[in-house]
Structure 1
């Protein structure tokens, strides 16, 4: 059976012709090289000149929307993004997969996968040159991307206010492979997530109170399940007067970009080693440094390895209301996942100690799930559990608070939390009625 051919990407917005973009880029670059310093004015002037040339040649006029898109594409090309500029400028696009210069697929926020109609470079070699220059100048340290260093990752300042994450591989596969993740929802709130169906009113009220009460929260889920988006939304609930230290491999939370909402943020980003192999600053280094900055809260983008021990120390050190994300298949899998990552620490964290640290550092685990359906993609909060002391099984006791029943899309209450946790939530303004089982729903 032949596999269905994916449709071409079409969001109704004009896609600039790459040859036209390159022509205007060259003209603009020549003027900028001649010490005309206002890039915005130069590009706008060159696009206007191109439009006038079309009219003089008797060709149909272009719309203002085409001109605006063309101007943005030329700015991106001048920034060294080449054929990636138009892709990164598309609000609906969430993930970009490049499998060679002329085979590009995009995933939208709605869950569709389509083909991009233009090559992103003139050849695979040109694509590798583009990537090599990008990795050399993007980020806080120069990264080499060459046959000797065929794997590279970087965050670039394009694709939205939080930029985009680029992962690239060469030589280890048949053609260059590039994955680009756009951080679309830069300032999402819990209200926004309720509006798009990720959570309902009960969960919004519970999560808002959990932040206000200073609970230590761990957001878990699989790849692209929406962990970081939910963490951003939770951070919007933090009072403006609190000093928040964020610790990330790549800036994805963006609290430091919103000075009106978060005036007191210390945003720390890890740093890979430079081309000389020196200068690396790890997440573990940053977590240790974070506690020296007198934080009200420590928020960690994601932990993937032995730095889990530093996260547990940070959350258990008295700074209430810490939050972070972790890959896990379910909330119940989290203690074992933490114990496994603790084995990667230097020195390794004994499993028993990992369970005790987990029990003392965490209050609640919120597990999110991504659902790919024939009619599209959606994300939900699948379950919420309270983390209790280490029990008879030598692992932390986990008490389900909300879970998703069979055939349901949203989780429903299972029962109230412990009296201590319920009191903290009630003092923070939560109505205990959110834990009442809805009429007609049973377990």
Structure 2
């Protein structure tokens, strides 16, 4: 039952706007309130498709704005447009009413309607609620909602019920690549062109943001993840493929990063067009993948490692069966059947509850187990997505089991990536010695592709990010002191990291890589360009 205070519905049980998403009756038992008596209906009609579109972000969006109210062109950055935005307590109240009615309609047998059918039912319930409320506005002599207000409110309620709430428009906007949150009202958006700018608040308080994250983590029907004071970190794949990482209770304020991988269907040629690497480097990498060289893509956070892996995978012949192994799906090769007809994709699953005698939580499924199972799937390539720790053992095993594997890791330089992988291997296994770890890395990794991320402050207070391939390093066993030898096939374009201003240039080509010419590598072009770029040898680096 709903009481009214002005134009804001108030939850009769709590006297509040019912803003806690974890209390949604859709995900917990609820008692439906009595239906309100018939009232005059407004002429407004909202079709299901009207609920989907999100208003695009204005170019000069500031932290004070809501996503429903673009700033006029005359208002500069920092203009306060918050008073013109949605009433989020009103959104929360309608969401609560809609979820109660949806729970009552579904009853105890939620399985009789699939997810899409439940969403369509939710749409019709939201429509009914807004029509009734619009009629009450007119009957009470208050100013009626405009069609824009009604559509914005309907979209927000639907997003709160089925989507990401106030985050949904940001995730839906094709210009936004990363959403960086360090508290409910401290939001930064990284656009696809590399620009960084302030974003709108995503909750009314830090507590509300944490409650929403808990709700978001627990509602997944496929791969729910715990998030609590006992487990204060969250890594989650969102609908649509975005990746969410969050931390709370162990940070001053809740910290969240949502990464949207905009370039799923991408090739090395596309990256050449974007200035990420030269045509010659693309020719070399494409030939290396076809020749089944095992590659590690390294770089800092946000440098575009996953995008580079997708582009490399586009060079894998279509007849090859691929297996991907990830903590959360990010590569999404299995969603491109025209590019990769045969892909078996595995996603790890964290356990929950107390640990058993073997130290594992109930329901846990690791990348190691997925890789073990994959040996019965007749795979041609096994790709272990991101190596942050013990995943390195799965990466090494995949590379030992068959040539042509691809992985990523975080590192500042290509050689630092090798040292990090050795360290990860030693930390991952109690019986892994430094000699074994070094030998395993040196014998199984052929190439390291290093990505560089450059952030340039702009006069208006924002920033631009540029990414490019800064090194391509060939690795071979050897060098008694280090356990491996390296050769810069492509080297930074300047004499030092601080001077480079673009993609790597030809360096030294080991003799064995001349055979890549048969796979399409422009060998003559390499030697011609290398003559104009004398190589810069690193200490202990091999030269041919």
**Fold match by TM threshold 0.5:** yes
The structure 2 residue matched to 1:388, chosen from 476, 479, 500, is: 476
Distance 1:351 1:247, change over 3 A: same
How many residue pairs are counted as aligned between the two chains? 427
In 1, are the aligned partners of 2:237 and 2:328 still within 8 Å (CA)?
A: no
Distance 1:233 1:278, change over 3 A: same
Distance 1:440 1:103, change over 3 A: same
Report 1:402-421 matches (<5 A): 402-406=490-494, 407-418=500-511, 420-421=512-513
Q: Specify the alignment match of 2:398 in structure 1.
A: 314
Q: Specify the alignment match of 1:377 in structure 2.
A: 465
The structure 1 residue matched to 2:524, chosen from 414, 433, 441, is: 433
- The alignment yields a C-alpha RMSD, in angstroms, of 3.3
Distance 1:397 1:71, change over 3 A: farther
CA shift for structure 1 position 219:
0.8
| Secondary structure at the counterpart of residue 398 of structure 2 | helix
CA shift for structure 1 position 210:
1.4
TM-score (norm 2): 0.70
| Secondary structure at the counterpart of residue 396 of structure 2 | helix
CA shift for structure 1 position 238:
1.4
CA shift for structure 1 position 280:
1.8
Distance 1:309 1:12, change over 3 A: closer
CA shift for structure 1 position 256:
1.0
Distance 1:434 1:415, change over 3 A: farther
CA shift for structure 1 position 422:
2.0
Q: Specify the alignment match of 1:213 in structure 2.
A: 291
Structure 2 unaligned segments of length 5 or more: list them: 1-60, 71-84, 107-116, 355-360, 459-463, 495-499, 536-544
Moved more, 124-133 or 394-403: 124-133
Report 1:52-131 matches (<5 A): 62=148, 67=151, 73-79=156-162, 81-118=164-201, 120-131=202-213
In 1, are the aligned partners of 2:384 and 2:406 still within 8 Å (CA)?
A: yes
C-alpha distance in structure 2 between counterparts of 1:421 and 1:267, whole Å: 31
C-alpha distance in structure 1 between counterparts of 2:352 and 2:340, whole Å: 32
Q: Specify the alignment match of 1:17 in structure 2.
A: 86
Report 1:184-199 matches (<5 A): 184-199=262-277
Q: Specify the alignment match of 1:263 in structure 2.
A: 341
TM-score (norm 1): 0.84
CA shift for structure 1 position 216:
0.8
Structure 1 unaligned segments of length 5 or more: list them: 1-5
CA shift for structure 1 position 315:
0.5
* 1:422 correspondence with 2:505: no
In 1, are the aligned partners of 2:180 and 2:257 still within 8 Å (CA)?
A: yes
Residues 211-250 of structure 1, C-alpha deviations (whole Å, 9 max, x = no match): 1111111111121111111011111221222110001111
Q: Specify the alignment match of 2:327 in structure 1.
A: 249
C-alpha distance in structure 1 between counterparts of 2:502 and 2:66, whole Å: 28
CA shift for structure 1 position 430:
1.9
In 2, are the aligned partners of 1:413 and 1:434 still within 8 Å (CA)?
A: no
